[in-house]
Amino acid sequence: EKVAGFYKNLQNANGKNLAKLHSTSLKAKNLDCEVLLSEISKEQKFEVTYVKVDEKTEEGDVQCLVQISTMPVAVCYAVGKDYDKAKAEAARITLNYLKMMTKRPQRKK
């Protein structure tokens, strides 16, 4: 029940950064996902923590987790050739998750 309430509040939340998220393609090469995620977290009052996983994947890629202190806590995972790439991809995946979870329901006509 708390979980549903949190996402319902986030769906109804206002804020220029959350609005920007919904009007932005997360595939854009010039988008700094880490900055946008940081701006949204400040605006919506949750914390973002990046965790570098010590072990590499079997392919030799670096692993990164992003934890967002929403209720419930959400954790997203990504890999990259180095930590910076893994961190940037983890931020992009987290933004995609937030975009999906905060999408406002379509009004029936």
Q: What is the pLDDT of residue 72?
A: 77
Q: What is the pLDDT of residue 108?
A: 63
Burial class from Cβ neighbours inside 10 Å (0-12, 13-18, 19+) for residue 51 reads middle
Task: Say what the pTM is.
Answer: 0.86
Q: What is the pLDDT of residue 40?
A: 94
Question: What is the percentage of the chain residues whose pLDDT exceeds 70?
Answer: 87
Report pLDDT digits (tens) over 61-98. Answer: 999 999 998 777 889 999 999 999 999 999 999 999 99
Q: What is the pLDDT of residue 65?
A: 97
Q: What is the pLDDT of residue 90?
A: 97
Q: Is the pLDDT of residue 29 over 80?
A: yes
